[in-house]
Structures are given as structure tokens and as C-alpha cells.
């Protein structure tokens, strides 16, 4: 038995019963936090939807959890984790009337499975331009979790963005080997700062907490800017977080639920969320005064060209 938490009940007639599975806590660092925020938005937006969630589902028990929630009558089951392909396909075959959603999965999939993916590489390209323009040393550090497709492509495009503005700049990267190691993120970011990096980008999840704390720890000693990732991290480091590379998860989750409610969510398909769908840069807030006007204009102009299809961001999903 799994602990199922009810977020909201339908206000009136229930037309859709939704549940999401998290592999850690619902507010863990960024990845889950973004999805949970999306659930909160859906709970406010849709009166005829009941929403629940399960936290800390180990991957070796994912199949059991999918079976349990399907047996309980949940009609839309969202797996907010990537390495669960076999578990989802097994559940989809056993419960053909249930619609399953797989975050950052891969196609082809069964006819009752929808894959959603977050193409934040377009936003990370813009962040690369910004980082190149903000760096005084010409050294930029990237703290990543693991080079999974969603994160390797954002890294790759970030580097290409740096190269557009400042091809001679040095981009250092460290993959810490996990998405939850805050301490390693802190240590690696601090090492980059000591090596002269004056812009640090947190390209991942838990290690972002460590990376931004490292940047905060040197305030008054060194001038270092921080760029967040997945969610808007400005509130956690307001003096130094100039922007964040948003994955658009907060918008994707209510979008998927809304489509299902309207009967427009079709199994077997891939839905991609790009710059125009919310995988964008976060606002500069009050820090735009530190960003040169010509740099802000360049980022804005390139952003519009991407949206209009006039510029295609270089993309690579794996190191191979």
C-alpha cells in the first residue's frame, strides 16, 4: 500500500480523477516542486477534477504503485520521472482504459500513454548569451546533475549561446552524478568560483541549491552572478540570481490535465513544451539595472527570432 495524498476534490461533478507519482518529496528542490506547483494551478483552474499525489516512490516499486492507483480508478496517471519505461508500458497494457502520462519519456509508446517533454534548450541558449555578457573574467561554470537528455541538451545549447556572443569564453562543467546532492553542488560551484568563474548556472535539481548557496557565500568577497534552472530560483537568491532557465513544467501539468478534461489528450503522442509554451527565461526582477541595455536587447531579439521560427537553436541530446 502506498500513501496517497488528496490535493483537492472536484467542486461539483467529478469528470476526471488525476494522480501524479513523485520519486522524492513533492517539493524536492525544483523538478518535483515545479510539477506540484502545476498541480496547485490545476486545482484552482478546474472545478470538475480531483487531484492526488504519491511521494517518494522508489523506481523498483513504480510498477506496483501504477497498478494500485489504476485499480483505485484514477483515470489520468502522471509519472513525473524518466527511467520508468518498462513500468509504464506494463501498466498501460494491463489497464487499457487508464491514460498514462510520462514526463521526459520517449516514443513510441502504447496508445494509452502520452509523453511530455520540456525543451528548455531554447531558453538555456538565451541564458548562455546573458552569461557571456555578464561575465567579466570570461569564465563561466555549469553545475549539472547527470547528462540525461533533458539536461545535456540544455547544457549544450547554453554553451552555444555563450559562443554566439563570446567565443573565447571558457565554460567549465561538472556533472555531480546525481540530482539530489546539495553538498556536491556547493563544493563544485565554490571550486569554480575559486578558479575565476563569475557566472554559475545550476543545470539540474538538488545540486542547484548547493550551487546558489556557494554563490551567496561569497557575497562581499567576490562578484558572482547565479542563473537558476528548472524553476524560478530568484526568491532563494534575490541579490545574485539574474534569471533562471525555466522548464515550463508549471504550465505543462495543468495543460495536460486541461486537455484530458476536454477529451483532447490523445495517447501515443509526444507533447513538447518549448519557449512559447513556458520553457523560457525567468524575469530579471530588479537586477535588470545591472545588465547592459544592449545585452538585454540582444537576448530579447534572439528570443523573438526563436519564437517566430527565424532562428533554430543548436541542439544535442547526449555526449555521444
What 3-state DSSP class applies to 200?
A: strand
CA distance 238 to 186: 18
- The grid coordinates listed for 216 are 551567496
Going by C-alpha positions, the residue among 99, 97, 128 that lies closest to residue 116 is 99
> Residue 56's pLDDT is what?
95
Whether 14 maps to a domain, the answer reads yes
Q: What is the DSSP-derived secondary structure letter of residue 46?
A: -
> Residue 28's pLDDT is what?
76
- The answer to whether 57 and 88 have CB atoms below 8 angstroms apart is no
Grid coordinates 523498483 are at which residue?
A: 60
Q: What is the DSSP-derived secondary structure letter of residue 233?
A: -
Whether 317 maps to a domain, the answer reads no
Whether 312 maps to a domain, the answer reads no
> Residue 29's pLDDT is what?
73
> Residue 224's pLDDT is what?
99
- Same domain for 51 and 140? no
- Same domain for 303 and 193? yes
Whether 31 maps to a domain, the answer reads yes
**Backbone Cα Rg of the chain:** 20
Q: What is the DSSP-derived secondary structure letter of residue 288?
A: G
Question: How buried is 82 (Cβ within 10 angstroms: 0-12 exposed, 13-18 middle, 19+ buried)?
Answer: middle
- Same domain for 112 and 25? yes
pTM for this entry:
0.94
- Same domain for 265 and 242? no
CA distance 184 to 226: 17
- Same domain for 127 and 222? yes
- Same domain for 254 and 239? no
CA distance 179 to 183: 11
- Same domain for 291 and 188? yes
Whether 302 maps to a domain, the answer reads yes
> Residue 124's pLDDT is what?
99
Whether 297 maps to a domain, the answer reads yes
Going by C-alpha positions, the residue among 4, 16, 107 that lies closest to residue 92 is 107
Whether 319 maps to a domain, the answer reads no
- The answer to whether 229 and 208 have CB atoms below 8 angstroms apart is yes
> Per DSSP, what are the bridge partners of residue 16?
49
- Same domain for 34 and 105? yes
Question: Is the torsion defined by CA of 204, 205, 210, 215 positive or negative?
Answer: positive
- Same domain for 92 and 131? no
Taking the C-alpha atoms of 262, 268, 272 and 273 in order, what is their torsion angle to the nearest 10 degrees? Answer: 30
Which residues does the chain have with pLDDT short of 50?
Answer: none
CA distance 284 to 317: 28
> Residue 180's pLDDT is what?
86
Q: What is the DSSP-derived secondary structure letter of residue 283?
A: P
- Same domain for 131 and 270? no
- The answer to whether 3 and 54 have CB atoms below 8 angstroms apart is yes
- Same domain for 138 and 193? yes
Q: At what angle do helices 31-45 and 249-261 cross, to 10 degrees?
A: 40
Other CB atoms within a 10 A radius of the CB of residue 106 amount to: 12
Whether 315 maps to a domain, the answer reads no
Q: How many domains does the structure of the chain reveal?
A: 2
Residue ranges making up the domain that contains 202: 121-246+284-307
> Residue 231's pLDDT is what?
96
- Same domain for 264 and 238? no
Grid coordinates 520519486 are at which residue?
A: 23
How many residues does this entry show for the chain? 320
Nearest-5° Cα angle at 149, 193 to 173:
15
Backbone φ and ψ of 173, nearest 5°: -130, 145
- Indicate which CATH number applies to the domain containing 45: 3.40.50.2300
Express the helix, strand and coil content of the chain in percent, nearest 5 each: 40, 20, 40
> Per DSSP, what are the bridge partners of residue 114?
101
Amino acid at each position: 500500500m502506498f500513501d496517497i495524498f488528496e490535493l483537492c476534490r472536484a467542486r461539483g461533478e467529478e469528470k476526471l480523477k488525476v494522480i501524479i507519482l513523485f520519486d522524492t518529496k513533492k517539493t524536492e528542490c525544483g523538478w518535483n516542486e515545479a510539477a506540484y506547483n502545476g498541480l496547485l494551478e490545476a486545482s484552482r483552474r478546474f472545478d470538475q477534477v480531483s487531484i492526488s499525489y504519491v511521494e517518494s516512490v522508489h523506481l523498483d516499486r513504480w510498477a506496483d504503485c501504477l497498478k494500485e492507483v489504476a485499480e483505485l480508478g484514477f483515470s489520468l496517471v502522471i509519472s513525473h520521472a524518466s527511467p520508468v519505461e518498462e513500468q509504464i508500458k506494463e501498466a498501460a497494457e494491463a489497464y487499457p482504459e487508464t491514460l498514462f502520462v510520462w514526463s521526459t519519456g520517449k516514443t513510441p509508446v502504447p496508445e494509452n500513454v502520452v509523453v511530455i517533454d520540456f525543451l528548455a534548450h531554447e531558453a538555456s541558449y538565451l541564458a548562455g548569451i546573458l552569461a557571456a555578457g555578464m561575465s567579466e573574467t570570461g569564465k563561466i561554470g555549469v553545475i549539472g546533475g547527470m547528462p540525461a537528455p533533458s539536461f545535456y541538451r540544455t547544457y549544450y545549447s547554453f554553451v552555444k549561446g555563450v559562443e554566439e556572443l563570446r567565443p573565447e569564453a571558457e565554460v567549465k562543467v561538472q556533472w555531480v552524478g546525481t540530482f539530489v546532492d546539495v553538498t556536491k553542488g556547493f563544493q563544485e560551484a565554490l571550486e569554480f568560483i575559486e578558479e575565476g568563474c563569475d557566472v554559475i548556472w545550476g543545470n539540474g535539481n538538488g545540486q542547484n541549491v548547493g550551487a546558489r548557496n556557494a554563490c551567496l557565500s561569497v557575497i562581499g568577497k567576490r562578484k558572482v552572478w547565479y542563473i537558476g534552472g528548472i524553476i524560478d530560483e530568484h526568491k532563494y537568491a534575490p541579490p545574485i540570481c539574474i534569471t533562471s532557465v525555466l522548464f515550463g513544467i508549471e504550465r505543462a501539468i495543468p495543460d495536460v490535465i486541461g486537455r484530458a478534461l476536454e477529451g483532447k489528450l490523445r495517447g501515443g503522442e509526444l507533447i513538447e513544451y518549448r519557449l512559447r509554451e513556458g520553457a523560457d527565461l525567468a524575469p530579471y526582477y530588479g537586477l535588470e539595472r545591472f545588465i547592459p541595455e544592449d545585452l538585454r536587447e540582444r537576448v530579447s531579439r534572439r528570443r523573438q527570432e526563436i519564437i517566430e521560427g527565424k532562428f533554430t537553436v543548436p541542439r544535442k541530446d547526449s555526449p555521444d
